[in-house]
A and B are shown apart, each in its own frame.
Chain A
Amino acid sequence: MDLGRYIFKRGSQLLPLLFGISILAFLLIHLSPVDPVEACLGKEEASLLAPEDLAGLRASWGLDRPLYGQYFIWLAHVFQGDFGISHLSGRPALAVIAERIPATLVLMGTGYLLVVVLSIYLGVTSAKRQDTFFDHTCTALSFIFYSTPNFWLALILVYLFSVKLGLLPVCGMASPKALTFSLPELGRHLILPAAVLALSTSPWYIRFLRASMLEVLALDYILLARAKGLPEKMIIFKHALRNALLPFLTLLGLAFPHLIGGAVVIETIFAWPGVGRLLVESALRADYPVVMGLTFLFSVFVLLGNFLADIAYLFVDPRIRYGGEAD
């Protein structure tokens, strides 16, 4: 199968999924007992309005139409890049979301890099030194961190490094006193949240890479390479790692949901001004358009991750290109 068609085919498979997600999100929100008018104005302010004013407000938000009518109106707008107006701020939901994206990208990007570096380093090293003290410690720690709630880890690290030792800032992306942007300032604020994100996401990948390295290292061609007397580093990095990385690449594409889930909690704890915190805040205050937009954004992101993993796989493993469909 030729490359372009393959990519096109994988890509077009994403559309029905997006459609499914939009229906899911829409149904969830509109089956809920929350009254968006009250949720947005606050109970006391809504109570001060006359019933006919409330009805007018409802109509202006399209809440008086039947459910399917609301859905198709919403969908038509989404295709034009319009996710509606945030009930809370009266601004386009897309604008509300867009201004929060860079912060999340910085956090997730850094976290992601740390995950990759940590898991490759620790996974390879503990496979190389199987059954040594290093390997056992690494395994034990991976198990423990895998079972640790990320918010707890965040709280404990803040307690240790910010409260007790006073080394790192408590929250935010920059000190409120810093009036201009500075890279070191951002870096200092990034350390704790990115570390929590990486520590709670990477154990799984470390375990995975270690297992597939062990599998590869037991293969005949590695034995042959060893027999030929090639240097160990070359065997590990050139021959073994390359093959072990294949399944790992796919997995890294699948890491996006973990990272997003982690970002939601971590941004909330560290008062990080990103989309994760925005989701919690707008969900709690029933700002439908923003929640819908975010839900959509996150799933696009996840699907994109899967798609990229597929494509990356294709480039690394040429067998798929000629072997027809990979599923």
Chain B
Amino acid sequence: MNKKLYAGACFLFLVVFLAVLAPYLCTYHPVDTSLGDAGLPPSREHLFGTDDLGRDVFSRCVYGARVSLAVGFAVALLTTVIGVVVGLVGGYSGGLIDNVLMRVVDTLNSLPNIILSIVILAFFKPGIFNVLAVLALTGWTATARVVRSETLSLKTREFVLAARALGAPDAYLIFFHLLPNVLAPALVAATFSVAHAILAEATLSFLGLGIPPHEPSWGNIMMEEMDDLLVGVWWTVFFPGVLVISTVLAVNFLGEGLKDALEPGRGGKNV
């Protein structure tokens, strides 16, 4: 089943490559206007056409990839760190601490992520760091749940019981016995949260609550240019959307592939 993994990884690598080499690949500036070239359809000079301020949509998409991918990876990192810590601590210590942590998880889960993000961003104001913070704050619960249940089952396994019987301190147990064993499911969860974060960033930027428009991201390119779609200028919305879909698809494939590779026992239910 590792075709998925390779396909996903290859495409993702391509997009990262584009993003990193953006200044060398783009002959046009992604933000500066050129009012004379406004609204050109896709052509050889402008692969994805130009927008209503005469900016090259391809350049904007490539630069946008930097922001969108950065948001995706940074959020995945943050959610994984928070999720692993909460899951390990909750699962290992049990009792009151676990109970409180899980109630926090439940509370966050009982509000749709997008709603929570809208409310927070509307009050704390859009901007790249607030978007990161919000997506991390709303996204870590899934990882925490996975890690917690993993920890719970590991806790009763022989090697952990043995180490504990030998008098190993809690910190040692957590770091050297539990942490390495929850990394695989955490990695899978992290991959899916990259996909979630890219989609969420796009949606928030689209609602005008994400990345501010002078820093192109896939979401806000579409937000700025959706105006033109209804009057027939389709390329400014179509191409960034296709990029989002294919990148998210690639990341999801990667996640599925990782899941199959890392957790062969659980791979049976292929959701």
Contact = CB atoms under 8 A, between A and B. Distances in A.
Q: Do A and B come from one complex?
A: yes
A21 interface: yes
Contact of A17 (B107, B206, B207): B107
Interface in A222-260: 257-258, 260
B57 interface: no
B115 A148 contact: no
Contact of A156 (B195, B203, B238): B238
A300 to B, nearest CB: 9
A151 interface: yes
The size class of the interface chain B forms with chain A is 35 or more
Nearest to B104: A20
B245 interface: yes
A253 B121 CA distance: 28
A31 B133 CA distance: 15
Nearest to B248: A147
A25 B119 contact: yes
Interface in A144-186: 144, 146-152, 155-156, 158-159, 163, 170
Interface stretch (A68-76, A96-104, A277-285): A277-285
A34 interface: yes
Interface stretch (A59-67, A78-86, A261-269): A261-269
A219 B263 CA distance: 23
A73 B104 CA distance: 24
A257 B112 contact: yes
A32 to B, nearest CB: 3
A208 to B, nearest CB: 5
A211 interface: yes
Interface in A287-312: 291, 295, 298-299, 302-303, 306
Contact of A286 (B120, B123, B209, B226): B123
Contacts of A284: 122, 208-209
Interface residues of A, number: 52
B153 interface: no
Which residue, B109, B113, B114, B199, has most C-beta atoms of chain A within 10 A?
Answer: B114
B229 A283 contact: no
Contacts of A295: 111, 115, 119
A165 B269 CA distance: 41
Where chain B touches its partner, the secondary structure class is helix
A116 interface: no
Given A158-B230, A268-B207, A17 B270 contact: no
Nearest to A283: B122
Given A33-B124, A163-B232, A211 B112 contact: no
A147 B114 contact: no
B122 A159 contact: no
Given A148-B245, A159-B230, A20 B107 contact: yes
A159 B234 contact: yes
A159 B269 contact: no
Interface in B193-230: 195, 199, 202-203, 206-209, 219, 222, 226, 229-230
B271 interface: yes
B122 A149 contact: no
B32 interface: no
B156 interface: no
Nearest to A306: B110
Contact of A280 (B120, B207, B231, B244): B207
B271 A207 contact: yes
A15 to B, nearest CB: 11
Contact of B252 (A143, A260, A299, A303): A143
A25 B118 CA distance: 12
Nearest to B247: A147
A149 B202 contact: yes
B164 interface: no
Interface string B78-103: 00000000000000000000000001
Contact of A258 (B112, B195, B199): B112
Interface in B108-140: 108-115, 118-120, 122-125
A29 interface: yes
A291 B248 contact: no
A317 interface: no
B112 A261 contact: yes
Given A16-B103, A163-B232, A298-B112, A151 B249 contact: no
Top 7 closest pairs, chain A to chain B, by CB: A32-B123, A283-B122, A20-B107, A147-B248, A257-B112, A261-B114, A152-B241
Given A20-B107, A279-B119, 8 more contacts: A17-B107, A31-B123, A149-B219, A149-B244, A211-B271, A215-B269, A261-B114, A302-B111
16 contacts: A17-B107, A28-B120, A147-B195, A152-B202, A152-B222, A156-B238, A163-B231, A260-B115, A264-B118, A279-B119, A283-B122, A283-B123, A284-B122, A295-B111, A295-B115, A303-B110
